[in-house]
Amino acid sequence: MLTIKVLGSGCPNCQKVEENARQALTMLRPPGGYELTHVKDPLSISEYVLKTPGLVINEKVVSQGRIPDPSEIMTWLADALLAAE
């Protein structure tokens, strides 16, 4: 199972990262499912990144301070699935 966290206050950029992550998950359809959460608490965010928006997959920071496109996120998700095997 994949655990995905979008880090940010809920601004338009953070919402776009969440939307792109959902698109990537829809395309990939990870076996075992996934859990996607949007972390908005500043203290919790600071445990992972200094710049938002941030994206964490299976407790690994894969992006911060920018909006990755769905295909890039899909690559990270596939890598996380391989690492979990």
Q: What does the alpha-carbon distance between residue 65 and residue 78 come to, in Å, rounded to a whole number?
A: 22
Q: What is the pTM of this model?
A: 0.94
DSSP 9-47: SS-HHHHHHHHHHHHHHHHH--TT-EEEEEE--HHHHHT
For tokens 């880090």, the residue is 7
- Residues classed as catalytic: 11, 14
Tokens representing residue 67 in the block? 């909006």
Burial class of residue 49 (count of CB atoms within 10 Å of its CB; 0-12, 13-18, 19+): middle
**Which of these CATH numbers, 3.40.109.10, 3.20.20.20, 3.90.1280.10, 3.40.30.10, describes 2-84?**
3.40.30.10
pLDDT per residue of the chain (85 residues) written in tens, 0 to 9: 999 999 999 999 999 999 999 999 999 999 889 999 999 999 999 999 999 999 999 999 999 999 999 999 999 999 999 998 7
What is the pLDDT, as a whole number, of residue 43?
97
